[in-house]
Amino acid sequence: MATYNKKTVEDIDVAGKRVLVRCDFNVPQKDGVITSDKRIVEALPTIKYLMGQGAKVILCSHMGKPKGEVNPKYSLSAVAARLTELLGVKVALCADTIGPDAKAKSAALKNGEVILLENTRFDPREEKNDDTFVKELASLADVYVSDAFGAVHRAHASTAGVAKYLPAVCGYLIQKEISVMGKALTDPARPFVAILGGAKVSDKLNVIDNLLGKVDTLIIGGGMAYTFLAAKGYGVGTSLLDTEKIDYCRTMMEKAEKNGVKLLLPIDTTITDKFPDPIDAKVDVEFVNSDAIPADKMGLDIGPKTAALYADAVMGAKTVVWNGPMGVFENPILAKGTIAVAKALANSSAITIVGGGDSAAACEQLGFADKITHISTGGGASLEFLEGKDLPGISCLLDK
């Protein structure tokens, strides 16, 4: 974890230098119109700092999955337009990533000016971290700044490769991610409570294993809870069950006991006849104790007694990390458990960290985002961070 003490934009002289900044501008769009500019806004502090220091700023990002081919649907043109509005200066979009237009525009940059390269994934060599592509990209700049936390778990050319050829530091967004989450995992204020939800145990295997060596209490919810309940010998009806992971769950329960970690599982569950189709369809639900799920019913959310138990555990904590919903959050009737957890975090005086994806969406939709200490910008990256994995886009940066 010491590898997370990285140099930042403030530790390097950028005046008059061409600075390549990897951002995460993979924003949702409908008919070419950006529906949420959150990721663009989050990149602004780093961009504005560099402009203010007189750097020549070259921004780059991927958008969607164009599979290595130029596809107008995934162009960053709307992003360039939005950046122009937000920064109050013209941000020109290059017609290519490392081609003649990118080279000409980056060479012509004046101090404090900003350009945006076209989608890095329009070239198949980006995701392969191909060295010829890496060298061409690096040749555009004198310094590299990594600020796309959502992509640091990928060893691509623009996220890790260029650091071989340029002095590499992190921007403000990544600095915040690694300082807040890094401290929680290495030196947390205790009691330290982690809440894991989501559908499958298999997605969180290494996270559970890693956290059981760090937390005081581990709370399990979501679809993966039923595999734990099955490991306790309970019938789970037609609920989501990962039969191959029952033994693993048993081992984890033993590990928790051995480590003196309190492992909380649902004591009651919200059941219904079948999975809602469409996802937000009206469903009739009832609540049963977790050891009394009927054979023909499925659990799709934690029950009210569990929600109160989990909220209580959060209230007694000093550090809370949450990743993954407690039920089928997309359905308002089956979102109550997730909402209860989000509320508990919002009302807590603890340091609260929410890992990306559905948990982050829940906090934002409910208007609790400003009451959470830190909402991670990367789903996959924050999970791998919680696993204690080496993140290629961070380990490639210069140490302080």
Q: Where in the sequence numbering do the catalytic residues fall?
A: 39, 200, 357, 380
Other C-beta atoms within 10 Å of 367: how many? Answer: 10
Of residues 148, 133, 188, the one with CA closest to residue 61: 148
Local structure of residue 119 (DSSP, 8 states): -
How far is CA 248 from its chain centroid? 25
Contact at 8 Å (CB) between 331 and 162? Answer: no
Q: Who contacts 279 (Cβ-Cβ below 8 Å, separation ≥6)?
A: 328, 330, 331
- Catalogue the E-assigned strands of the chain: 18-22, 29-30, 33-34, 56-60, 91-93, 114-116, 143-146, 168-170, 192-196, 217-220, 262-264, 268-272, 286-289, 298-302, 319-323, 351-354, 374-375
Distances (CA, A) of 223 to 198, 204, 227, 272: 6, 12, 8, 14
Measured on CA atoms in the order 91, 93, 98, 99, is the torsion positive or negative?
A: negative
Helix (H) or strand (E) holding 357: helix 357-365
Phi and psi for 257 in degrees, rounded to 5?
-65, -45
Of residues 374, 17, 88, 92, the one with CA closest to residue 9: 17
* Strand, coil or helix: 93: strand
Residue whose entry in the numeric block shows the structure tokens 């960290």: 353
Phi and psi for 62 in degrees, rounded to 5?
-100, 170
136, amino acid identity? E
Of residues 58, 15, 44, 13, the one with CA closest to residue 162: 58
